Chains A and B, each alone.
Chain A
Amino acid sequence: MTDPSSHERAERFAEQIEAGPTRSIEEHRRASRRSFMTGGVATVAAIAGFRHLQNRPQIDNAPDLLRKGYEFNEGVWRRLSTATHSPTFDASERGELRVNGRIGVRDEIDLDAWTLTVLGPDGEQLDELRIDDVRALGEHTIVWEHKCIEGWSQIVGWTGAKFADFAARYDVDHEYVALATPDRRYYVGLDKAAALHDQTLLAWALNDEPLTQLHGAPLRLATPVKYGIKQLKRIGTIAFTNEPPPDYWAERGYSYYSGL
């Protein structure tokens, strides 16, 4: 022990230990039995609880209590402002976006024949737009990091009209927006805050190039506040609703909100 303070430290350590409460051996034996019994019961309860949790009734392919977990998160994060601008990047940082989902866009369509149907809360048709009508709403290019719920991300640039400018054309009260592909195979429900977010676009170009069909030509949703699963390609209808619209991936066990 070369350190002059080491003896002092050893004493301090001993004092620290001895400052703790004590109990007699008899009491210790009794209390220990109790502790181990509590531990045993807690272990059994934890294992049973874990199994029970997984075997709970499913709501859209997720155990109901975990659905509650999703909803709890939604409640927490919706309370925080979604008006924050998602970080933007320089065009030089852009990269190729992979085609990850083909549902609803598998077959080629005639782009010239495409129209966008706009519906109100009672299913009434509000409008039918051609691509030039949408382009007339204004053109914005934003470069952000696209995120897939699988875990990968890619910086890409989108060009399109702001969804908020599109929604402003129709004076309807709504809480949600429903989007679906023309064949209705892919459908998405979007909360109003995300739809009207300043960076949410109805996009027709990706990285300065017109959208390919597999990326959602002629018009798709692009928003940095939701995962890719919510950014519906090849929009056929947009409906303003007050009830949460059906959502393809939410029905398959994912969070309805899926917000970023």
Chain B
Amino acid sequence: MTNAVLAEPATEDPRIAREHHPRAIRWMHWINFPILMVMIWSGLRIYWANDVYALTIAGRTIFPFFPESVYEPLNLNSKLAKGLAFHFTFGWFFTLNGIAYVLYLATSGQWRHLVPDRFALKESTAVVLHDLHLRGEAPAQGRYNAAQRLSYSIIVVLGGVVVATGLAMFKPAQLHLLTSLFGGYETARAIHFGTTLAFMAFFGVHVAQVIKSGWSNFASMVTGYKVTGHKVTGHKVTEHKVTEHKVTASEERG
């Protein structure tokens, strides 16, 4: 056993890289990012022309959507036509990329990493408590923890909602059945707007979590792979970080 280890070249790195994000998911993820930005930006330019919504509590406006301090720096004022032109063109790209993503998940089996199981709801609370340092131990997880599974699945559903309410508003005569499904033109608009706010919230939390998770996690969304300590993995071995780990013969055989 000792000989076997000594026989290995001293310089060899015992670590190995394992796929974390398949190529298709990485491409669709990064393609979606600028498209979503364009959709939100152009959507706000459209919304500006009739900015009726506000956060009110007991009839008092807490926060209007949006104050001039938001419109002005983002150059959203008086750009309705430019907003429409971008929105109706890039909406196709957003929709097609979303459909491709769902089809890929469904056909590749990758959905197994994403779709929440029956424990996900309960475990999500534990994950959030763990993230907030209110709970010591994080629940067992696969590629994604329960909170990620839930939010990454919900955002796909919201993607469907935002496209459907968008179409309900875009073609309320031709697609009037869809418009009625959402409770009419006005409600479709409100849902479309609310979904956009949810997208913004998702984006904020997502970016914060990525920053918190560190470089190798971010890099895996670019490279697809994450470095792990095991050159050869045995059965029932769970992932753990190994820095100065010598590969033992038994592990090599396993």
Contacts and interface: CB of A to CB of B under 8 A. Distances in A.
A6 interface: yes
A50 B18 contact: no
Interface in B70-97: 80-82, 84-86, 88-89, 92
B136 to A, nearest CB: 13
Given A10-B140, A16-B143, A84-B173, A22 B81 contact: no
B173 A86 contact: yes
A252 B81 contact: yes
B16 A148 contact: no
Contacts of B82: 62, 253
A145 interface: yes
A255 B172 contact: no
A130 interface: no
Given A35-B223, A39-B30, A39-B222, A23 B16 contact: yes
Contacts, number: 152
Interface string B1-42: 000000000000101111110000000001000100010000
Interface in B99-116: 112-113
A148 B46 CA distance: 12
A24 B82 CA distance: 49
Interface string A140-178: 000001011111110000000000000000000000000
Contacts of B20: 20
A47 to B, nearest CB: 9
A46 B93 CA distance: 14
A89 to B, nearest CB: 10
Given A14-B236, A28-B223, A82 B81 contact: no
B17 A10 contact: no
A129 interface: no
B15 A149 contact: no
B162 to A, nearest CB: 16
B230 to A, nearest CB: 9
A69 interface: yes
A81 to B, nearest CB: 7
A17 interface: yes
Contacts of B113: 16
Given A153-B185, A254-B84, A77 B171 contact: yes
A87 interface: yes
B30 to A, nearest CB: 7
Contact of B34 (A46, A86, A148): A46
A70 to B, nearest CB: 7
B210 interface: no
A212 B185 CA distance: 27
Contact of B119 (A9, A16, A18, A252): A9
B219 interface: yes
Given A16-B143, A18-B18, A147-B185, A73 B223 contact: no
A13 B185 contact: no
Contact of B18 (A12, A21, A32, A35): A21
Interface string B175-193: 0100110001110010000
A224 interface: yes
A36 B46 CA distance: 35
14 contacts: A3-B119, A16-B142, A18-B233, A22-B19, A28-B227, A62-B82, A69-B89, A77-B171, A87-B179, A147-B185, A150-B80, A253-B85, A255-B85, A259-B174
Interface of A: 3, 6, 9-14, 16-18, 20-28, 31-32, 35-36, 39, 42, 46, 50, 61-63, 65-70, 72-73, 77, 80-82, 84, 86-87, 145, 147-153, 224-225, 249, 252-255, 259-260
Given A149-B49, A260-B172, 16 more contacts: A9-B140, A10-B140, A13-B140, A14-B142, A14-B237, A25-B16, A28-B227, A31-B223, A39-B222, A50-B34, A73-B89, A84-B173, A145-B184, A147-B172, A151-B47, A253-B85
Of all A-B residue pairs in the complex, the 9 with the closest CB atoms, nearest first, are: A69-B89, A253-B81, A151-B50, A28-B17, A13-B142, A10-B140, A20-B19, A66-B85, A150-B49
